[in-house]
Structure 1
Amino acid sequence: MKLFKLIPLLFLFVLASCSSVQVSTDYDNTVNFNEFKTYAFMKDGVDKINISDLDKKRILKAIDEELTAKGYTKSDNPDLVINLFTDAKQIVNVNSYYGGWGYGYYRPWGWNPWMMGPGYQSVSTSTQGILYIDVLKAANKELIWQGKGSGYLTSKQSKKDERIKEFVSKVLETFPTK
């Protein structure tokens, strides 16, 4: 009976793990982030990103919202420069299922090959996206903080804004607040 109670919980866990963003961050622990108040985007870096202009706008808008919420101000004379990199890779999932035609019968010399029924395979592909957000000192372009988020992307237009915001907010979650 307890197994039936765990099945919905297990389903929710699997569903949540498929939609989450895995994040890793690194920073220079000798830097005092309290001295920084303003930021700007590194135009050369943003221009080199190999994604659509619409997705670039979505990412930049999401970063603006997150940094503004953390107390930073966008400026033409910034303390920090934000650079971006993206990458994507196709993941191929192959699942095999072999049903049975029954229990078969016992043979003392080994496995009966007719015990295995017809099987089928399903093949699906999905795209895993990776977003790097680099934060550099504007004065000398020294890297002081880097965040990386990876997770599955969606091709549904209605979900793109939401997914990009999730990526950016998860990556910048540990970035220091003013």
Structure 2
Amino acid sequence: MKTIVKLIKSAGVAVVAGVFMMACSNALQVSYDYDSSVNLKQFKTFKVEAEHNMEQDPLLGSELNRRRLGDAVVEVMEAKGYKMDTKNPEIVVRFMTDVKDRQQVRSNNMYSPYMWWYGGGNNISTYNYQESRFILNIYQKTTERMVWQGWASGKVKAPTKKEDQNTMIKNTMADILRSFPEATADTYSRK
């Protein structure tokens, strides 16, 4: 009986800690799209660069953040088994960021049977915010055709320390690339 009580208490603490961590984390929505006619598992080498001819946000797209984004993408791709090759890559991973002004409209419908007495009605409020997007486009080098695209969007809270910012960017890139296939076991046997 005591072990069951301890188990229930442990599970309760774990659930509360998990809810607390989820409430504190950035709520970024991650999605992806790909060209189904291309076998993404055939690629072994890559290079990383900023997307061409795209207007970057002055803060998220700053030189500092472009370096952080590039470094994070390299680290995640190498962890997935790909080899960096700046001279003759099979795929080119291009990244970009932007910020969009968004508005959310909320309605608090206060109609009730007693609205004639209390003066109920429909209260409408608006909430303005900025939505950040991190976008990765992967192109096949030989055709310059986009074969995969992933993105994360949502409200990004600025980290308080440089280490937190590096970690946030790396985790975001890892989340975006989670659905991109890992390099196959024969990654280095062809070179």
| Correspondences of 1:1-178 after superposition (within 5 Å) | 12=20, 15=23, 19-42=26-49, 45=52, 49-50=56-57, 51-75=61-85, 76-91=87-102, 110-112=116-118, 126-158=129-161, 159-178=164-183
Quote how far apart the aligned CAs of 1:58 are: 1.0
Secondary structure at the counterpart of residue 45 of structure 1: coil
Q: What SS does structure 1 have at the residue aligned with 2:38?
A: coil
Change (3 A) 1:89 1:44: closer
Take 2:19 and 2:80, find their aligned partners in 1: how far apart are those partners?
35
* Greater strand proportion: 1
- The one-letter amino acid paired with 1:153 is V
CA contact (8 A) 1:21 1:170 kept: no
- SS of 1:154's equivalent in the other structure is coil
The answer to whether the 8 A contact 1:154-1:160 is kept is no
In the alignment, structure 1 segments of 5+ residues that lack a partner are 96-107, 114-122
Offset at residue 14 of structure 1 (A) = 6.6
Q: Where does structure 2 lack aligned partners over 5 or more consecutive residues?
A: 1-11, 107-113, 120-125, 184-191
Q: Which range moves more in the overlay, 168-177 or 18-27? A: 18-27
Task: Give the count of matched residue pairs.
Answer: 154
Counterpart contact for 1:46–1:84, Cα < 8 Å:
no
SS at match of 2:46: strand
TM-score by structure 1 length?
0.69
Q: Secondary structure at the match of 1:20?
A: coil
Cα-to-partner distance string for 1:66-100 (whole Å, 9 max, x where unaligned) = 100011111121000111222112456799xxxxx
The percentage of counterpart residues that share the same residue type is: 25
